[in-house]
Amino acid sequence: MEHHSLSAFSQPVIASPHPPLSPSLGGEDKGEGAAERRRATTYVLPGRMHARHIPLFALLSVLLLLGCGRRGSPVVPVLVEPSPPVDLQAQVQRRVVTLTWTRPATNVDGTALKMKSLDAFRVSRRQQEPQTSALSVIATVKADQPANAVVSGNRYAFTDEKVEVGARYAYQVESVNRRGIIGPPSSEATVLVTIEIEAPSGLRAESGERTIRLSWSAPTRRADGSALTGIRGYNIYRGVKPGRYDPRPVNKEPLPATEFHDADLVNDQTYYYVMRAVENQEPPWQEGLQSAEVSAVPVDLTPPAPPQGVRAVPGPGAVVALSWEPNRESDLLGYLVYRSDGPHRRPRPLIQAPFSAPALYDRSVQSGGRYLYTVTAVDASPRRNESAASAEVEVEVP
């Protein structure tokens, strides 16, 4: 008897009874060997030079083994919980609470939490003061294109308008995946709802060399006219376009004083500023109303160094050849040359506009004349800062 490998079953199986064992048309297969023939009904595997006869039950057994895979106990699927937001913050603005958080990138077990696997966030709230209430869900924010929140990148912002002035609230956020599994809650973010502080007044901006000095008057009351007992400080916001500011204040901590020097700026760039008073003692900062906008332009006030090594050589003929060492300033525009026709005469510029070459021929002299020359350097700033005059050189034209 021949033995065949399982690779033979990689070919398609054609259910075609072997002719000698097939029942005749219109009758039954009878006789002494009929039962045996029915049990041993065979199938032909194509692709061979002759038929291979395999019992039907053996063929079905192999197919069942191949289709069912390994035997064993049923496996219970692991239900992975999504991680909660780790940076939940609550801020009061105009007597409503704004919650912000970042979409988690992993599940609790550390595996990746893909955007398509995250369904929503559950926002819960409880009141702490003056009354207390149990934690309850107040909103569900969809992970993708929510109608009740603003999404910027992976950052979400939800506004809770159903709050009362004078009440303190605690918030939590939970992640929910598309299987409906709710992850653990985030850490609590607490906030006290107050009437906002009025805007600082008299904000002024003064330009300097790569710096702008800001000053203002402190607010004395809240927006409803009630007395203000004290503030934590001030936050200043800066931008390079009107009405558009960096979301983070220029200062790392609220400023305690009513003036600020914004340094390391770019000269000739316009900067725009607004500011708000800060009420609470710890971030996220609870800010008051925004001040009016002011702008200023830092200016270049530093002139180049005076040119060095000025030389004046007369002739031949009625001409004086002037030369000097070139300046090294990166913002150098050029030079101006001044001439005096005598020791007590006021010098006047030979050329009105700065020129870039460190040399000049003066052809407006006369034979027998005595002349005194100085050279200055001018930068390219809008102010056209001009250096002090170089050392004076004297020459007599033959």
The residues of the chain that CATH labels 2.60.40.10 are 89-192, 201-296, 308-396
Q: What is the pLDDT of residue 73?
A: 65
**Percent of all residues in the chain with a pLDDT value above 70, rounded to a whole number:** 80
**pLDDT score for 343:** 81
Identify the pLDDT of residue 78: 65
pLDDT at res. 76: 58
More confident residue, 179 or 45: 179
pLDDT of residue 41 exceeding 70, the answer is no
Reported as a single tens digit per residue, the pLDDT across 344-394 is 889 999 999 999 999 999 999 999 999 999 999 999 999 999 999 999 999
Over residues 216-243, the mean pLDDT reads: 94
Per the confidence metrics, is the pTM higher than 0.75?
Answer: no
| In this structure, CATH architecture of domain 308-396 | Sandwich (2.60)
Given 2.60.40.10, 3.40.190.10, 3.60.15.10, 3.40.605.10, which CATH number is that of 89-192?
2.60.40.10
- Provide the pLDDT confidence category of residue 94 given band limits of 50, 70 and 90: confident
SS (H, E, C) the chain: CCCCCHHHHHCCCECCCCHHHCCCCCCCCCCCCHHHHHHCCEEECCCCCCCCCEEHHHHHHHHHHHHHCCCCCCCCCCCCCECCCCCCEEEEECCEEEEEEECCCEECCCCECCHHHEEEEEEEEEEEECCCCCCEEEEEEECCCCCCCEEECCEEEEEECCCCCCCEEEEEEEEEECCCCECCCCCCEEEECCCCECCCEEEEEEEECCEEEEEEECCCEECCCCECCCCCEEEEEEECECCECCCCCCCCCCECCCEEEECCCCCCCCEEEEEEEECCCCCCCCECCCCCCEEECCCCCCCCCCCEEEEEEECCCCCEEEEEECCCCCCEEEEEEEEECCCCCCCEECCCCCECCCEEEECCCCCCCEEEEEEEEEECCCCCCECCCCCCEEEECC
For 201-296, CATH number out of 3.30.70.1900, 2.60.40.10, 3.40.30.10, 3.55.50.30 equals 2.60.40.10
pLDDT at 57: 45
